[in-house]
Amino acid sequence: MADEHSHAPSINQAEILAINEAFRAKNQRTAKLLRQMEHEHSKGEHKNSENKDDNDEHTSETKHTIPKTTKTTTKRTNPFTKEVMNFEMPKNFTLPSTLKPYQGIGYPNVHVTKFHAMMFMNKESDPILCRTFPTFLDGAALIWFSNLPKGSISNFDELADQFVNHFAASKIYVHNFDYLSTIKQGPNESLKDYMTRFTEATNEIPNLNPEVHLHALKSGLRPGKFQESIVVAKPKTLAEFREKATNQIKIKEFRALRRAEKPTTNREEERRNRHPTGRTEQRSFRLTPKFDSYTPLNTKREDIIKDILHSKIIKPPNRAGTYQDQRHVERSKYCAFHQKYGHTTNDCVIAKDVLEKLAR
Protein backbone atom coordinates (compact mmCIF):
# COMPACT_ATOMS: atom_id res chain seq x y z
CA MET A 1 0.00 0.00 0.00
CA ALA A 2 1.34 3.39 -0.94
CA ASP A 3 1.37 6.26 1.50
CA GLU A 4 -0.81 9.02 0.09
CA HIS A 5 0.50 11.68 2.50
CA SER A 6 4.23 11.24 2.97
CA HIS A 7 7.05 9.21 1.48
CA ALA A 8 10.59 8.81 2.69
CA PRO A 9 13.25 8.86 -0.06
CA SER A 10 13.76 5.47 -1.58
CA ILE A 11 15.86 4.01 -4.37
CA ASN A 12 14.09 2.08 -7.05
CA GLN A 13 15.72 -1.19 -8.11
CA ALA A 14 15.42 -0.16 -11.73
CA GLU A 15 17.29 3.07 -10.94
CA ILE A 16 20.11 1.12 -9.27
CA LEU A 17 20.45 -1.18 -12.26
CA ALA A 18 20.41 1.86 -14.57
CA ILE A 19 23.20 3.50 -12.56
CA ASN A 20 25.28 0.32 -12.70
CA GLU A 21 24.73 0.09 -16.45
CA ALA A 22 25.78 3.73 -16.86
CA PHE A 23 29.04 3.11 -14.96
CA ARG A 24 29.74 0.01 -17.05
CA ALA A 25 29.17 1.91 -20.29
CA LYS A 26 31.39 4.75 -19.09
CA ASN A 27 34.20 2.31 -18.26
CA GLN A 28 33.91 0.77 -21.72
CA ARG A 29 34.10 4.19 -23.37
CA THR A 30 37.18 5.08 -21.31
CA ALA A 31 38.94 1.81 -22.24
CA LYS A 32 38.14 2.37 -25.92
CA LEU A 33 39.49 5.91 -25.76
CA LEU A 34 42.74 4.70 -24.18
CA ARG A 35 43.18 2.09 -26.91
CA GLN A 36 42.64 4.75 -29.58
CA MET A 37 45.19 7.05 -27.96
CA GLU A 38 47.71 4.20 -27.80
CA HIS A 39 47.10 3.41 -31.46
CA GLU A 40 47.53 7.05 -32.50
CA HIS A 41 50.74 7.24 -30.50
CA SER A 42 52.09 4.15 -32.28
CA LYS A 43 51.22 5.63 -35.68
CA GLY A 44 53.05 8.85 -34.78
CA GLU A 45 56.22 6.98 -33.86
CA HIS A 46 55.99 4.98 -37.07
CA LYS A 47 55.66 8.18 -39.16
CA ASN A 48 58.75 9.70 -37.50
CA SER A 49 60.79 6.64 -38.32
CA GLU A 50 59.76 6.94 -41.97
CA ASN A 51 61.01 10.52 -42.17
CA LYS A 52 64.40 9.51 -40.75
CA ASP A 53 65.04 6.61 -43.11
CA ASP A 54 63.11 6.46 -46.40
CA ASN A 55 65.02 3.33 -47.42
CA ASP A 56 63.56 1.34 -44.58
CA GLU A 57 59.98 2.33 -45.47
CA HIS A 58 59.00 -1.05 -46.85
CA THR A 59 60.63 -2.97 -44.01
CA SER A 60 59.02 -0.71 -41.39
CA GLU A 61 55.57 -1.17 -42.89
CA THR A 62 56.07 -4.92 -43.04
CA LYS A 63 57.28 -5.37 -39.50
CA HIS A 64 54.92 -2.86 -37.88
CA THR A 65 51.77 -4.47 -36.53
CA ILE A 66 48.73 -2.87 -34.97
CA PRO A 67 48.56 -3.59 -31.24
CA LYS A 68 46.09 -6.33 -30.51
CA THR A 69 42.96 -5.29 -28.67
CA THR A 70 43.17 -6.52 -25.13
CA LYS A 71 40.01 -8.19 -23.93
CA THR A 72 38.91 -6.52 -20.71
CA THR A 73 37.34 -8.75 -18.10
CA THR A 74 35.94 -7.85 -14.72
CA LYS A 75 38.20 -9.29 -12.09
CA ARG A 76 36.21 -10.36 -9.09
CA THR A 77 38.09 -10.44 -5.82
CA ASN A 78 37.47 -12.63 -2.82
CA PRO A 79 36.80 -10.41 0.21
CA PHE A 80 37.30 -13.20 2.76
CA THR A 81 40.54 -13.97 4.55
CA LYS A 82 42.37 -17.27 4.13
CA GLU A 83 41.09 -18.48 7.50
CA VAL A 84 37.49 -18.12 6.28
CA MET A 85 38.13 -19.72 2.90
CA ASN A 86 40.18 -22.62 4.29
CA PHE A 87 37.41 -23.59 6.70
CA GLU A 88 35.94 -27.01 5.87
CA MET A 89 32.17 -26.83 5.55
CA PRO A 90 30.17 -29.53 7.40
CA LYS A 91 29.07 -32.47 5.28
CA ASN A 92 25.46 -32.26 6.51
CA PHE A 93 25.20 -28.51 5.92
CA THR A 94 21.99 -27.32 4.24
CA LEU A 95 21.10 -23.89 2.92
CA PRO A 96 17.83 -22.18 3.94
CA SER A 97 15.31 -22.57 1.13
CA THR A 98 12.79 -19.86 2.01
CA LEU A 99 14.97 -16.74 2.28
CA LYS A 100 14.54 -14.41 -0.69
CA PRO A 101 17.80 -12.89 -2.01
CA TYR A 102 18.36 -9.22 -1.17
CA GLN A 103 18.63 -7.09 -4.33
CA GLY A 104 19.53 -3.73 -2.82
CA ILE A 105 16.03 -2.52 -1.99
CA GLY A 106 14.42 -2.74 1.44
CA TYR A 107 15.64 -3.05 5.02
CA PRO A 108 19.18 -4.51 5.02
CA ASN A 109 19.11 -5.18 8.78
CA VAL A 110 15.89 -7.19 8.36
CA HIS A 111 17.59 -9.34 5.74
CA VAL A 112 20.55 -9.97 8.07
CA THR A 113 18.19 -10.87 10.93
CA LYS A 114 16.22 -13.32 8.78
CA PHE A 115 19.42 -14.88 7.47
CA HIS A 116 20.83 -15.29 10.96
CA ALA A 117 17.57 -16.82 12.22
CA MET A 118 17.40 -19.33 9.37
CA MET A 119 21.01 -20.33 9.93
CA PHE A 120 20.24 -21.11 13.56
CA MET A 121 19.67 -24.79 12.75
CA ASN A 122 23.24 -25.07 11.44
CA LYS A 123 26.44 -24.47 13.35
CA GLU A 124 26.69 -20.71 13.69
CA SER A 125 30.41 -20.28 13.04
CA ASP A 126 31.73 -17.14 11.34
CA PRO A 127 33.20 -18.99 8.34
CA ILE A 128 29.86 -20.69 7.63
CA LEU A 129 27.90 -17.46 7.93
CA CYS A 130 30.40 -15.54 5.80
CA ARG A 131 30.55 -18.04 2.98
CA THR A 132 26.78 -18.61 2.95
CA PHE A 133 25.62 -14.99 3.08
CA PRO A 134 26.53 -14.10 -0.56
CA THR A 135 24.22 -16.90 -1.72
CA PHE A 136 21.29 -14.71 -0.65
CA LEU A 137 22.42 -11.59 -2.52
CA ASP A 138 21.38 -10.57 -6.00
CA GLY A 139 21.42 -7.57 -8.31
CA ALA A 140 23.07 -4.48 -6.85
CA ALA A 141 23.77 -6.26 -3.58
CA LEU A 142 25.76 -8.99 -5.33
CA ILE A 143 27.72 -6.36 -7.29
CA TRP A 144 28.55 -4.59 -4.03
CA PHE A 145 29.84 -7.83 -2.52
CA SER A 146 31.98 -8.56 -5.59
CA ASN A 147 33.71 -5.18 -5.24
CA LEU A 148 34.75 -5.60 -1.60
CA PRO A 149 38.54 -5.42 -1.10
CA LYS A 150 40.40 -8.71 -1.22
CA GLY A 151 40.90 -10.34 2.18
CA SER A 152 39.07 -7.56 4.03
CA ILE A 153 36.43 -9.70 5.77
CA SER A 154 37.52 -11.99 8.62
CA ASN A 155 34.18 -12.52 10.44
CA PHE A 156 30.46 -12.20 9.87
CA ASP A 157 30.01 -9.10 12.06
CA GLU A 158 32.31 -7.13 9.75
CA LEU A 159 30.40 -8.32 6.69
CA ALA A 160 27.00 -7.56 8.24
CA ASP A 161 28.07 -4.07 9.40
CA GLN A 162 29.38 -3.11 5.97
CA PHE A 163 26.28 -4.54 4.31
CA VAL A 164 23.85 -2.62 6.55
CA ASN A 165 25.82 0.63 6.31
CA HIS A 166 26.10 0.45 2.53
CA PHE A 167 22.39 -0.17 1.94
CA ALA A 168 21.09 2.03 4.76
CA ALA A 169 19.69 4.50 2.23
CA SER A 170 17.74 1.73 0.50
CA LYS A 171 15.19 1.37 3.30
CA ILE A 172 11.60 1.61 2.12
CA TYR A 173 9.06 2.98 4.58
CA VAL A 174 5.75 1.84 3.18
CA HIS A 175 3.84 3.95 5.68
CA ASN A 176 4.47 6.25 8.59
CA PHE A 177 2.26 7.02 11.57
CA ASP A 178 0.41 9.78 9.68
CA TYR A 179 -1.07 7.11 7.43
CA LEU A 180 -3.05 5.65 10.34
CA SER A 181 -5.24 8.75 10.46
CA THR A 182 -6.59 7.80 7.02
CA ILE A 183 -7.86 4.38 8.13
CA LYS A 184 -11.57 4.59 8.95
CA GLN A 185 -14.14 1.90 9.65
CA GLY A 186 -16.46 1.63 6.65
CA PRO A 187 -20.24 2.06 6.89
CA ASN A 188 -20.81 -1.70 6.45
CA GLU A 189 -17.44 -2.89 7.77
CA SER A 190 -17.55 -5.09 10.86
CA LEU A 191 -15.44 -4.22 13.89
CA LYS A 192 -13.49 -7.45 13.39
CA ASP A 193 -12.57 -6.54 9.80
CA TYR A 194 -11.63 -3.01 10.82
CA MET A 195 -9.34 -4.25 13.59
CA THR A 196 -7.69 -6.72 11.21
CA ARG A 197 -7.10 -4.08 8.53
CA PHE A 198 -5.72 -1.61 11.06
CA THR A 199 -3.34 -4.21 12.52
CA GLU A 200 -1.96 -5.07 9.08
CA ALA A 201 -1.15 -1.39 8.50
CA THR A 202 0.60 -0.95 11.86
CA ASN A 203 2.80 -3.97 11.19
CA GLU A 204 4.47 -2.00 8.38
CA ILE A 205 5.34 1.01 10.56
CA PRO A 206 8.58 0.70 12.57
CA ASN A 207 8.82 2.06 16.12
CA LEU A 208 5.17 3.12 16.29
CA ASN A 209 4.29 4.99 19.47
CA PRO A 210 1.57 3.05 21.39
CA GLU A 211 -0.26 6.29 22.28
CA VAL A 212 -0.36 7.35 18.63
CA HIS A 213 -1.52 3.82 17.73
CA LEU A 214 -4.38 3.93 20.27
CA HIS A 215 -5.49 7.44 19.31
CA ALA A 216 -5.67 6.57 15.61
CA LEU A 217 -7.51 3.31 16.36
CA LYS A 218 -10.21 5.09 18.38
CA SER A 219 -10.50 7.94 15.87
CA GLY A 220 -11.19 5.55 13.02
CA LEU A 221 -14.24 3.94 14.64
CA ARG A 222 -17.58 4.35 12.90
CA PRO A 223 -20.13 6.41 14.88
CA GLY A 224 -22.32 4.08 16.88
CA LYS A 225 -22.85 2.36 20.22
CA PHE A 226 -19.38 0.87 20.42
CA GLN A 227 -17.70 4.20 19.72
CA GLU A 228 -19.86 5.77 22.44
CA SER A 229 -18.88 3.05 24.90
CA ILE A 230 -15.20 3.73 24.14
CA VAL A 231 -15.71 7.44 24.76
CA VAL A 232 -17.23 6.63 28.17
CA ALA A 233 -14.75 3.91 29.16
CA LYS A 234 -11.68 5.86 27.95
CA PRO A 235 -9.25 2.93 27.59
CA LYS A 236 -5.71 4.12 28.27
CA THR A 237 -3.80 1.22 26.72
CA LEU A 238 -4.05 -0.86 23.58
CA ALA A 239 -4.67 -3.94 25.73
CA GLU A 240 -7.76 -2.34 27.31
CA PHE A 241 -9.10 -1.28 23.92
CA ARG A 242 -8.57 -4.73 22.40
CA GLU A 243 -10.34 -6.37 25.33
CA LYS A 244 -13.43 -4.21 24.82
CA ALA A 245 -13.30 -4.70 21.05
CA THR A 246 -13.02 -8.48 21.48
CA ASN A 247 -16.06 -8.55 23.76
CA GLN A 248 -18.04 -6.46 21.28
CA ILE A 249 -17.08 -8.80 18.43
CA LYS A 250 -18.23 -11.82 20.46
CA ILE A 251 -21.58 -10.16 21.15
CA LYS A 252 -22.08 -9.39 17.46
CA GLU A 253 -21.25 -12.96 16.45
CA PHE A 254 -23.59 -14.36 19.11
CA ARG A 255 -26.46 -12.19 17.91
CA ALA A 256 -25.84 -13.25 14.32
CA LEU A 257 -25.97 -16.88 15.40
CA ARG A 258 -29.25 -16.33 17.22
CA ARG A 259 -30.78 -14.75 14.12
CA ALA A 260 -29.65 -17.71 12.05
CA GLU A 261 -31.16 -20.13 14.55
CA LYS A 262 -34.64 -18.52 14.44
CA PRO A 263 -36.94 -20.71 12.29
CA THR A 264 -38.12 -18.94 9.18
CA THR A 265 -41.59 -20.43 9.62
CA ASN A 266 -42.26 -18.23 12.66
CA ARG A 267 -43.20 -15.30 10.44
CA GLU A 268 -45.73 -17.40 8.54
CA GLU A 269 -47.19 -18.69 11.81
CA GLU A 270 -47.54 -15.16 13.16
CA ARG A 271 -49.30 -14.08 9.96
CA ARG A 272 -51.80 -16.89 10.22
CA ASN A 273 -52.53 -16.02 13.85
CA ARG A 274 -53.11 -12.39 12.96
CA HIS A 275 -55.42 -13.35 10.06
CA PRO A 276 -57.44 -16.43 11.10
CA THR A 277 -59.34 -18.18 8.32
CA GLY A 278 -62.36 -19.00 10.51
CA ARG A 279 -61.99 -22.73 10.01
CA THR A 280 -59.91 -25.38 11.64
CA GLU A 281 -56.72 -26.13 9.77
CA GLN A 282 -55.18 -29.47 10.36
CA ARG A 283 -51.93 -29.18 8.48
CA SER A 284 -49.43 -31.94 8.49
CA PHE A 285 -45.83 -30.88 9.15
CA ARG A 286 -44.41 -32.45 6.04
CA LEU A 287 -42.04 -29.63 5.23
CA THR A 288 -39.06 -29.89 2.90
CA PRO A 289 -35.76 -30.36 4.78
CA LYS A 290 -33.24 -27.54 4.27
CA PHE A 291 -30.14 -29.75 4.27
CA ASP A 292 -29.10 -32.67 2.12
CA SER A 293 -27.34 -34.40 5.02
CA TYR A 294 -27.58 -34.17 8.78
CA THR A 295 -25.04 -34.59 11.55
CA PRO A 296 -25.50 -37.91 13.44
CA LEU A 297 -26.66 -37.39 17.03
CA ASN A 298 -25.65 -39.55 19.99
CA THR A 299 -28.70 -38.44 22.02
CA LYS A 300 -32.43 -38.36 21.31
CA ARG A 301 -33.48 -35.26 19.42
CA GLU A 302 -36.24 -34.62 21.94
CA ASP A 303 -33.77 -34.60 24.86
CA ILE A 304 -31.48 -32.19 23.05
CA ILE A 305 -34.38 -29.86 22.22
CA LYS A 306 -35.48 -29.83 25.87
CA ASP A 307 -31.93 -29.04 27.05
CA ILE A 308 -31.35 -26.13 24.69
CA LEU A 309 -34.80 -24.69 25.40
CA HIS A 310 -34.12 -24.93 29.12
CA SER A 311 -30.72 -23.26 28.76
CA LYS A 312 -32.32 -20.59 26.54
CA ILE A 313 -29.85 -21.16 23.70
CA ILE A 314 -32.85 -20.99 21.37
CA LYS A 315 -36.43 -19.90 21.88
CA PRO A 316 -39.55 -21.91 21.05
CA PRO A 317 -41.73 -20.67 18.20
CA ASN A 318 -43.96 -17.71 19.02
CA ARG A 319 -47.33 -18.76 20.54
CA ALA A 320 -46.15 -22.32 20.79
CA GLY A 321 -49.03 -24.71 21.44
CA THR A 322 -51.74 -22.14 20.75
CA TYR A 323 -51.69 -21.44 17.02
CA GLN A 324 -53.45 -24.70 16.04
CA ASP A 325 -56.65 -26.24 17.35
CA GLN A 326 -55.52 -29.09 19.59
CA ARG A 327 -58.98 -30.72 19.95
CA HIS A 328 -58.73 -32.85 16.81
CA VAL A 329 -55.08 -33.95 16.88
CA GLU A 330 -53.50 -37.20 17.97
CA ARG A 331 -52.62 -36.84 21.64
CA SER A 332 -50.15 -39.68 21.56
CA LYS A 333 -47.72 -37.52 19.56
CA TYR A 334 -46.07 -34.48 21.11
CA CYS A 335 -43.42 -32.06 19.80
CA ALA A 336 -41.17 -30.58 22.51
CA PHE A 337 -40.03 -27.83 20.14
CA HIS A 338 -43.48 -26.58 19.09
CA GLN A 339 -44.95 -27.59 22.48
CA LYS A 340 -48.07 -29.05 20.92
CA TYR A 341 -49.64 -32.37 19.94
CA GLY A 342 -50.01 -33.81 16.50
CA HIS A 343 -46.44 -34.87 15.65
CA THR A 344 -43.33 -36.02 17.53
CA THR A 345 -40.09 -34.15 18.05
CA ASN A 346 -38.19 -36.73 16.04
CA ASP A 347 -40.57 -36.23 13.09
CA CYS A 348 -40.42 -32.42 13.30
CA VAL A 349 -38.49 -31.13 10.29
CA ILE A 350 -38.18 -27.65 11.74
CA ALA A 351 -36.60 -28.91 14.96
CA LYS A 352 -34.29 -31.10 12.93
CA ASP A 353 -33.15 -28.11 10.82
CA VAL A 354 -32.59 -25.97 13.93
CA LEU A 355 -30.34 -28.62 15.48
CA GLU A 356 -28.39 -28.98 12.24
CA LYS A 357 -27.74 -25.22 12.18
CA LEU A 358 -26.40 -25.41 15.73
CA ALA A 359 -24.26 -28.43 14.87
CA ARG A 360 -22.72 -26.66 11.87
pLDDT recorded at residue 70: 47
> What does pLDDT average to over the chain?
75
Residue 334 pLDDT grade (very low, low, confident, very high; cuts 50, 70, 90): confident
The answer on pLDDT for 61 being more than 50 is: no
Question: In this structure, are residues 81 and 154 in contact, taking their beta carbons and an 8 Å threshold?
Answer: yes
> CA dihedral defined by 304, 305, 308, 313, rounded to 10 degrees?
130
pLDDT recorded at residue 159: 94
Q: What is the pLDDT of residues 288-312, one digit of tens each?
A: 777 777 888 777 888 888 888 877 7
Domain ranges across the chain = 1-29+74-86+94-174, 177-261, 284-359
Which of 141-155, 165-179, 313-327: highest mean pLDDT? 141-155
List the single range of 168-172, 175-179, 325-329, 350-354 with lowest mean pLDDT.
Answer: 325-329
Q: Which residues pair with 153 in a beta bridge?
A: 80
pLDDT recorded at residue 69: 45
Task: Return d(Cα 39, Cα 47) in angstroms, integer.
Answer: 12
The answer on pLDDT for 147 being more than 70 is: yes
Question: In this structure, are residues 289 and 349 in contact, taking their beta carbons and an 8 Å threshold?
Answer: yes
Q: What is the pLDDT of residues 226-282, one digit of tens each?
A: 999 999 999 999 999 999 999 999 998 888 888 887 665 555 666 666 655 544 444
More confident residue, 302 or 137: 137
Q: Is the pTM of this model over 0.85?
A: no
Q: What is the pLDDT of residues 202-237, one digit of tens each?
A: 876 767 888 989 999 999 999 999 999 999 999 999
Task: Return d(Cα 106, Cα 102) in angstroms, integer.
Answer: 8
CATH architecture observed for domain 177-261: Orthogonal Bundle (1.10)
